Amino acid sequence: MKCPPLQADGSAKQCGGNKNWTIYPSSQEAFRIASEFNIHPAIASVILRRGLKTSAEISRFLNPSIETLKSPFEFSDMRKAVGRVQSAIANKEKILIYGDYDVDGITGCAILYPVLKKLDADTEVYIPHRLSEGYGLNQEALERLLKKKFQLLITVDNGITGYNQIKFLADKKIDTIIVDHHLPREKVPPAFAIVSAAIDQKENAHLAACGLAFKLGWALLGNFQAMEDSLDLVALGTIADIAPVVGENRILLRHAMPFLAGTKRVGLRALMNQARITYSRVSTRDIAFGLGPRINASGRMGSPENAFKLLTTPNEIEAQNLAQILEEGNRQRQQVESSAFEEALEQIEMDELSSTHGVLVLDSPEWHEGVLGIVASRIVDRYQKPSIVISRRAGLGKGSGRSIPSFSLFDSVLKCENLLETFGGHAQACGLTIREENIPLFRKRLNEVVGLQVESSSADLALAIDAEVPLAEINPKFLQDLEKLEPFGPGNKKPSFVSRNIRLKGSAKKRGKDTLQAWITDSTGKTTCEMVGFRKFNRWIESNQSDRLDIVHQPSLRDYNGIRSIQLELEDWSASR
């Protein structure tokens, strides 16, 4: 098939089966880069589209070095934080770590706790219950915890919006060290020290809370090597929190993934067994869709303490029991999430919200608070619009919001803060509580604030395709070149490729609820590989199929019981012309 005429940026447009395709060609510069670094021209094209131009920039990207990590003392308050912790240990003061119930918060606590124990600190961890205490510093919980007589509080993945709670502690002569990556409001809390990339606005501004906890641990122990055994948790928390894979996050993740593959934590190994993940080949996708949801399910459907114990226990029997508890919680979460998502879709379609609202604000008394963030994420994926999903109980709504990459939902919601009881988050995600009677006005006001900033709709979705690659060229060498770009995530999206004139070998099969699985070949019949499409089977059956297809996919090298094979993850398809 001939591509449509090139656009001003050199790309070609094509109508796909479900989205409009934008296909980027390989330039002469890409061929030069491919020759210099011995990589496929399509991979070189991806690198150039990342904004890397010089050989030195490309070399640093392909070979991120631990040596280039910034010192933890680059944070303006790090010396104060370290000094206060050392003082607390010397004076035998009790230190309380107050975490968060998501993967980032739990891994951050699991990183910092053993560091303090290694330094002989009198310390313990408290993680609030999502449903009864909510996100952030809970006033009633703090008042109850005062009975433990702690003199130093360290928050992990929260605290930056807890002005009143931290002032409450300060008035009682209790110091607080905030370790948080979320954005502050107008007033910064009166903490003793703040370890926050959002405050310092340095090059490491994208570090998740687990990365900040790692940096604090590094500063306390005095060298990076002393913290290497925590890199597995940095990988887990950073990927699960969907933190941008750029700058220091990229460096840490590149070096952390092998530590995760070889982790000695009996809890993580037990959880990988439950998720049927091969230790040695654990991937960022395994974290995002396997490990992360299971750990999050602990906070969503039960007690987050189970997940913390799983990550810190040295006992294999306890680890296996805890992993089983998390597995059962995840199954329950899947059922509850599926029901809420279907109801949310009905709301959107019945009220025609996708065509009239820039931000989708949905509410129901039936939705479980523990799955709101997941449902909001799925709605964003479906409609390519920021979404806030609210559960109503006894006159109060608790909501979770997710956004599209190019839009700060936090900034927009902040302009409606007078309608909210509590609010916190960052550009891509937020949490809030709101009185039930304020929800209609909040929906109206937020969409007035947003205006035309968000214009995408379900009928006008764009799919950026990094390059056209014949199926015959997607071989182990191509995939090894692709692996050099890892880890993938926000800011370093996994590339998508189009392959043309593809034929099915036999019929597509349904796997699970809505997964498509098929074997495909090219026009010569000499190249064959597996194709899978998550949540694609029903659409496949409903669409008019052609004998020959152009498919958009993300290829990978899969490992099953020691057998490696090429697999294409299907994103979209169209009849070949």
Mean pLDDT by 10 residues, the chain (577 residues): 44 63 87 95 94 92 93 95 98 97 96 98 94 85 95 96 95 97 86 88 77 98 96 97 91 96 96 93 91 91 92 97 95 92 93 87 92 92 91 93 87 92 85 94 92 51 86 95 92 93 92 92 91 91 84 88 86 91
| Domain-embedded: residue 356 | yes
Q: Does residue 140 share a domain with residue 200?
A: yes
Structure tokens belonging to residue 569:
């993850």
Would you say residue 334 lies in a domain? no
Name the maximum alpha-carbon separation found in the chain.
Answer: 77
Give domain status of residue 274, yes or no.
no
The residue type of 406 is S
Helix, strand, coil abundance in the chain, percent, nearest 5: 45, 20, 35
Instruction: State whether 120 and 256 are in the same domain.
Output: yes
Among candidate residues 396, 419, 450, the one where a domain is terminated: 450
Q: Which residues contact 353 (CB under 8 A, 6 or more apart)?
A: 347, 360, 362
291 domain residue, yes or no:
no
Domain containing residue 403 = 351-450
Shared domain for 421 and 473, answered yes or no, is no
Residues 505 and 418 in one domain: no
Q: Which DSSP string corresponds to 437-472?
A: GGHHHHHHHHHHHHTTS----TTS-EEEE-EE--GG
Is residue 148 domain-shared with residue 182, that is, in the same domain? yes
Domain co-membership, 247 together with 144: yes
Q: How far apart are CA 477 and CA 278, in angstroms?
A: 22
Q: Are residues 430 and 484 in the same domain?
A: no
What's residue 13's pLDDT? 59
Determine, yes or no, domain membership for 110: yes
Candidates 195, 133, 206, 100; CA nearest to 426 is 206
DSSP code string of 70-85: PPGGGSTTHHHHHHHH
Give the pLDDT score at 11.
Answer: 58
Burial of 424 (0-12, 13-18, 19+ CB in 10 A): buried
Return the sign of the alpha-carbon dihedral for residues 234, 410, 428, 272. Answer: positive
Output phi, psi for 551, to 5 deg: -120, 140
Burial code of 388-422, b = ≥16 C-beta within 10 A, e = fewer? Answer: bbbbbeeeebbbbbbbbeebbbbebbbebeebbee
Judgement on whether residues 41 and 190 belong to the same structural domain of the protein: no
The number of folded domains in the chain is 3
What's the N-to-C CA distance of the chain in angstroms?
Answer: 5
Q: Do 513 and 426 sit in the same domain of this protein?
A: no
Let me know if residue 364 belongs to a domain: yes
Two tokens at 122? 């009198």
Domain's final residue, options 261, 293, 312: 261
50 shares a domain with 153: no
Q: Is residue 444 part of a domain?
A: yes
Residue 159: CATH number of its domain: 3.90.1640.30
Q: Which are the contacts of 371, defined by CB distance < 8 A and separation ≥ 6?
A: 300, 333, 336, 337, 340
One domain for residues 16 and 101: no
Let me know if residue 317 belongs to a domain.
Answer: no
Residues 247 and 136 grouped into a single domain? yes
- Beta strand 515-521 pairing with 509-511: antiparallel
Q: Indicate which CATH number applies to the domain containing 528.
A: 2.40.50.460
- Domain end, chosen from 416, 450, 484, is at 450
